[in-house]
Amino acid sequence: MSAEIHFEVFVKKNRKAGWHLERAFEGRQEALDLANAQLTALPKGSVRVTKESYDEAQNSFLTVTIFEEGAERHKRVISANNKMEPTCNSPDDFYTVHTRRTLGRALAPWLRQNRVSALELLHRTDLAEKLAAAGHDRQHAIQKVAIAQAGAMECSVQHIVRRLTELADQATDHLRSAKTQKRTLDFNKRGFAATLVQAIEHKEPVFALNCALAGRMAGIKDWPEKISFLASCVSDALVESDDDNVGLGVLDAFLADMTALPHALDVCINGEELGDRLDRITDILCGKAPDEASDSASMLAIAISSGKLPQTQSALISRVFKELLGPRRLYPTRFVDEVALNRSLANRLVTLPSALAPPEQLGEAFIIRSSRLLESDSIERLMMSAENPGEEVHTLIGFEQSIVGEHNKHRLATFIRAILGAHKTERWFCNAGNALFKRLSICTHAQNLVLKGGFEAEDKAGISARLDGLCYEALRQNKALEQIECRDISPVQKAIILLKLPDQGLITMGKCAEEASRRAMRYLRTNEVRTAMGNDPGGQFKELGALLQRAKERVA
């Protein structure tokens, strides 16, 4: 069992509303505090807190409810006469995309054990009979679906179970009779193109081609081989004359069903960590063969690059969004790699059509990803590479470019202010030594980054002022400006050196630049300088004029 555990808070606003995920936390107490706050805010609502433990062996989360409370617990009042029909009313309804996805979730353990997808199950008599014989697995799946549907329709669970069981039996009988009625088709030994030609001439071309492909894959047990086979068929379908797009539509449905199964897709892309898997899935979505992935992943990417597999792309992007919105870190022990991957994923996903990857959904996903990077342990890991407080300040401020979301940037600003206000930071910047201005240039560069960055105006002003105050204190304690004034040089040269300090990035804008300008102006007002300027208006006085103009612009 993995140590990856988080807690999810679900809220139901009133009796007729449905449960929705409010927020996920790593800490138990934080989740319970939010649950109690929601109860206070929603007197007619209910809340539930679940503990989610990730099982690496099963590649799934184990859920345990640790808290559930509400005004009435929203117990359903079921009418004895309520005999509403389930969503599926006939065996044909099992073939819709929505129902296949439901089957995939409800029968996930059985499908994984038998290494088949829901679409294969719906077109192979041997699989349907095998599932019927495994009474416990089928009945357990039916009960899971029935409980969910009965809750939504407020009717008896037993009624839904009975109707779904009848429909499952009808679907099995439907497959048995299909072959005797010659509605099925065997896969042609000459390949997919020949099979497609036969299917197009069939009275039910889609069903016949589905049966042919499902039968052909009966002898293929590994997911990568199945995906490779289907991807290779895409190229045949692209060159074959098919006005109704039967071939590509059927292949797209099969590939979508398989790629929607996490265990099937993960075997295909060979990613040890979540970040590796997301990186390769995104490459496939963009039609690029992933590095270090299997041949099946490369073939799938080539097939998707045709732009003719919308269902498969939809299944892949759903997986990407699910993981991005989830609580798991992409690289739990490799912070820098995770930051780089976040940027890379965002840059690639924004190139996808907006219908496939809506900008608002992408924005939400990466705001949540950014919040994962701003947890206390993540910031500590980021700071581990810094050798001194100056590097810590520079690293944190530079990190702003790697996160999105106003709330996240404000949270980062809080960390920055804490570092700048720390005694060790002031001590390091104010430490006497020949490298004083080198240390202060870190403040100046950091201030420039803050002012040009995406922080809110209030945070920009606050951090900039703290950096300026830190620089000013270092100048004061080290008497750095006084040392310039004590040099054995002319007053004009002293003024030029003082005015150049901000331009050279050696002191910050604000109090420091104003103090340097004030001292410079004191020299320039002396009679000695005025006389020298009158006798020699060119040369260094021309440079001085430019420096004074820039100083005036900074004040403005």
Asked whether residue 17 carries a pLDDT value surpassing 60, the answer given is yes
Q: Decide if 356 is inside a domain.
A: yes
Question: In terms of domains, do 456 and 520 share one?
Answer: no
pLDDT for the residue 304:
93
Q: Decide if 83 is inside a domain.
A: no
Asked whether residue 197 carries a pLDDT value surpassing 50, the answer given is yes
Which band of pLDDT confidence, cut at 50, 70 and 90, is reported for residue 3? very low
Q: How far out from the chain centre does Cα 469 lie?
A: 38
Question: In terms of domains, do 216 and 229 share one?
Answer: yes
Name the domain boundary from 180, 213, 231: 180
Residues 401-413 have a mean pLDDT of 90
Does this model's pTM top 0.85? no
pLDDT for the residue 39:
86
| Least confident interval from 159-163, 175-179, 245-249, 266-270 | 159-163
Q: Which of 87, 135, 93 is nearest to 110 (CA)?
A: 135
pLDDT for the residue 2:
41
Query: Could you give the C-alpha distances from 447 to 270, 318, 388, 430, 452, in angstroms and in order?
Result: 44, 40, 18, 17, 9
Asked whether residue 79 carries a pLDDT value surpassing 60, the answer given is no
| Least confident interval from 183-192, 456-465, 538-547 | 538-547
Residue carrying structure tokens 């002022």: 465
pLDDT for the residue 466:
93
Of residues 506 and 490, more confidence is placed in 506
Q: Which of 16, 78, 6, 8 is nearest to 47 (CA)?
A: 8
Q: Decide if 85 is inside a domain.
A: no
Question: In terms of domains, do 28 and 111 share one?
Answer: no
Residues 302-330 have a mean pLDDT of 90
Q: Decide if 431 is inside a domain.
A: yes
Question: In terms of domains, do 512 and 416 share one?
Answer: no
Question: In terms of domains, do 210 and 121 share one?
Answer: no
Asked whether residue 525 carries a pLDDT value surpassing 50, the answer given is yes
Residue carrying structure tokens 């009042």: 77
Residue 6 bridge partners (DSSP)? 52
Name the domain boundary from 373, 391, 418: 373
Asked whether residue 545 carries a pLDDT value surpassing 60, the answer given is yes
Range of the domain at 10: 5-70
Rounded Cα–Cα distance for residues 66 and 210 (Å) = 45
Question: In terms of domains, do 440 and 397 share one?
Answer: yes
Q: How far out from the chain centre does Cα 201 lie?
A: 45
Mean pLDDT of the chain: 83
Question: In terms of domains, do 199 and 281 share one?
Answer: yes
Q: Decide if 352 is inside a domain.
A: yes
pLDDT for the residue 225:
93
Contact assessment for residue 34 and residue 22, using Cβ atoms and an 8 Å cutoff: yes
| Least confident interval from 126-135, 295-304, 338-347, 411-420 | 126-135
Question: In terms of domains, do 356 and 214 share one?
Answer: yes
Question: In terms of domains, do 175 and 203 share one?
Answer: no
Of residues 550 and 497, more confidence is placed in 497
Residue carrying structure tokens 């009624």: 159
Sheet holding 5-12, edge to edge: 20-25, 5-12, 46-55, 60-70
What's the start-to-end Cα distance of the chain, in Å? 63
Question: In terms of domains, do 135 and 157 share one?
Answer: yes
At 490, the amino acid letter reads: S
Q: Please spell the DSSP secondary structure of 44-90, one letter per residue.
A: T-EEEEEEEEEETTTTEEEEEEEEEEESSTT-----TT--PPPS--S
Which band of pLDDT confidence, cut at 50, 70 and 90, is reported for residue 78? very low
Q: What SS3 state is found at 21?
A: strand
Q: Decide if 147 is inside a domain.
A: yes
Name the domain boundary from 160, 180, 200: 180
Q: Decide if 548 is inside a domain.
A: yes
| Least confident interval from 46-55, 221-230, 283-292 | 46-55
Asked whether residue 495 carries a pLDDT value surpassing 90, the answer given is no
| Least confident interval from 16-20, 224-228, 470-474 | 16-20
Rounded Cα–Cα distance for residues 104 and 120 (Å) = 11
Q: What SS3 state is found at 155?
A: coil
Question: In terms of domains, do 44 and 108 share one?
Answer: no
Question: In terms of domains, do 202 and 338 share one?
Answer: yes
Asked whether residue 65 carries a pLDDT value surpassing 70, the answer given is yes
Number of domains in the chain: 5
Q: Decide if 196 is inside a domain.
A: yes
Rounded Cα–Cα distance for residues 138 and 167 (Å) = 12
Of residues 61 and 116, more confidence is placed in 116
Q: Please spell the DSSP secondary structure of 345-411, one letter per residue.
A: HHHHHTTS-TTTS-HHHHHHHHHHHHHHHTSHHHHHHHHTT-SSHHHHHHHHHHGGGG---HHHHHH
